[in-house]
Amino acid sequence: GDNVNRLLVTGGAGFIGSNFIRYVLSEDSECRIVNLDSLTYAGNPLSLSDCQQEDRYAFVHGDILDRGLLEQLFDKHAFTGVVHFAAESHVDRSILGPEAFIDTNIKGTFNLLDVACNHWKKDTSFYRFHHISTDEVYGSLGESGAFTETTPYDPSSPYSASKASSDHLVKAYSRTYGFPCVITNCSNNYGPYQFPEKLIPLIILNIMDKKALPVYGKGENVRDWLYVEDHCSAIWRVFCSGKDGETYNIGGGAERRNIEIVEFLCDLVDRKLGCESSSRELIEFVQDRPGHDFRYAIDASKLKSELGWEPAFTFETALEKTVDWYLANMAWVDDVRSGAYREWIDINYAKR
Active site residues: 135-136, 159
Rounded to whole angstroms, the Cα distance separating 50 from 35 reads 14
Interface segment toward ligand NAD; rule CB under 6 A; list 31-39, 72-80, 293-301, 336-344: 31-39
Beta strands in 41-180 (DSSP E): 57-61, 81-84, 128-134
Rounded to whole angstroms, the Cα distance separating 235 from 183 reads 9
C-beta closer to ligand NAD: residue 42 or 51: 42
**Residue 209 three-state SS:** coil
C-beta closer to ligand NAD: residue 8 or 282: 8
Choose the contact partner of 221 out of ligand TDX, ligand NAD, none; CB within 5 to 8 A by kind.
ligand TDX
Interface segment toward ligand NAD; rule CB under 6 A; list 13-21, 51-59, 239-247, 327-335: 13-21
Question: Total binding residues for ligand TDX by CB under 6 A?
Answer: 16
Radius of gyration of the chain from Cα atoms?
A: 20
Rounded to whole angstroms, the Cα distance separating 122 from 307 reads 30
Whether the Cβ atoms of residue 71 and residue 115 lie closer than 8 Å to each other: yes
Taking the complex as a whole, the smallest distance from the CB of residue 39 to ligand NAD amounts, in Å, to 5
Would you list the DSSP string of 268-313?
HHHHHHT-SS-GGGGEEEEPPPTT---B--B--HHHHHHH------
Rounded to whole angstroms, the Cα distance separating 197 from 349 reads 11
Interface segment toward ligand NAD; rule CB under 6 A; list 24-32, 37-45, 146-154, 340-348: 37-45
Question: Total binding residues for ligand NAD by CB under 6 A?
Answer: 29
Interface segment toward ligand TDX; rule CB under 6 A; list 6-14, 73-81, 195-203, 228-236: 195-203
C-beta closer to ligand TDX: residue 23 or 294: 294
214 lies in the binding site for ligand NAD (CB under 6 A): no
Choose the contact partner of 39 out of ligand NAD, ligand TDX, none; CB within 5 to 8 A by kind.
ligand NAD
Residues 149-208 contacting ligand NAD, CB under 6 A: 163, 186, 188-189, 195
Residue type, 200: I
Whether the Cβ atoms of residue 213 and residue 284 lie closer than 8 Å to each other: yes
C-beta closer to ligand TDX: residue 69 or 283: 283
Taking the complex as a whole, the smallest distance from the CB of residue 271 to ligand NAD amounts, in Å, to 26
Rounded to whole angstroms, the Cα distance separating 167 from 332 reads 32
Residues that bind ligand TDX (CB under 6 A): 89-91, 134, 136, 188, 198-199, 202, 214-216, 221, 223, 258, 289
